[in-house]
Amino acid sequence: MRRLVVVLAVVVAAFGAAGVASATTSVSVGGAVAKPRSFSAAELAGADLDQVVTGLSPMLPPGKNTMLRVTVTVRGTNHAVTFALAELDPSFGNHPAVFRTGRHGVDLTVPGDRNASRTVTDVRSVTVLVSDAASATRAVRVTVGRRVVTLPPELLAHLPRRTVTAKFGSDAGQQTHTESGPGLSLVLLLAGVLPTSDKTVVAVGSGGYGPR
């Protein structure tokens, strides 16, 4: 009986320590914002990432649709995810990311995602940055039914960039290429198309070739 009481006391102490750690965990929000600050896990639980960032007055660059140039990186203890501010904005991309109470503090989840790749556990910081992407050299044309939208290279150059390394086999052997540019979802948003899981997108190259 005495041993059982000791075990229960240890378990209670452990849960109490975890509760204290959760209550004292803070998340710093900074970068290109006018009012950087830190939030407790309790303050963030249930809040939208967009609301938190816009509440601190992000420093948007001048021009049209410049929200597309602003990125928001959420870092946890072992994982980081970067969003475009326009992707989160209810009047633009309307794809919210939401803070929730986690096991050790606060987590970030993206409702509607088909997997948890953009879920960040034990969030520690949120960093807002303005992209200084180099100039693109070609325009992109987006066709939806009879509507055609052409995005000039000057506009594409100001979108947040992603770098991807692709490996594939070819007649010349194994190929490895590193490409950098704006994400497809942002390009579609800028063309007035809301990317959803039921939409089919066909990419066609300059030579007229698309997927087989």
pLDDT digits (tens, 9 = 90+) for 2-43: 454 433 343 334 444 444 444 457 999 999 999 999 999 999
CATH number at residue 116: 3.90.420.10
The CA distance from 85 to 64, in Å, is 14
d(CA 147, CA 77): 45
Residue 1 lies in a domain: no
Which residue would you say has higher pLDDT here, 89 or 69? Answer: 89
Residues 29 and 95 in one domain: yes
The amino acid at residue 197 is: S
More confident residue, 45 or 212: 45
Q: Token pair for residue 188?
A: 């579609």
Closest CA to 73 of 62, 92, 55, 87: 87
Tokens of 168: 């594939």
Compute the distance between CA of residue 123 and CA of residue 28 in angstroms, rounded to an integer: 9
10 part of a folded domain: no
Based on the domain organization, do 140 and 186 belong to the same domain? Answer: yes
HSE, CB side, 13 Å, CA atoms: give it for residue 129: 14
pLDDT(68) > 80:
no
pLDDT at 58: 93
Strand, coil or helix: 22: helix
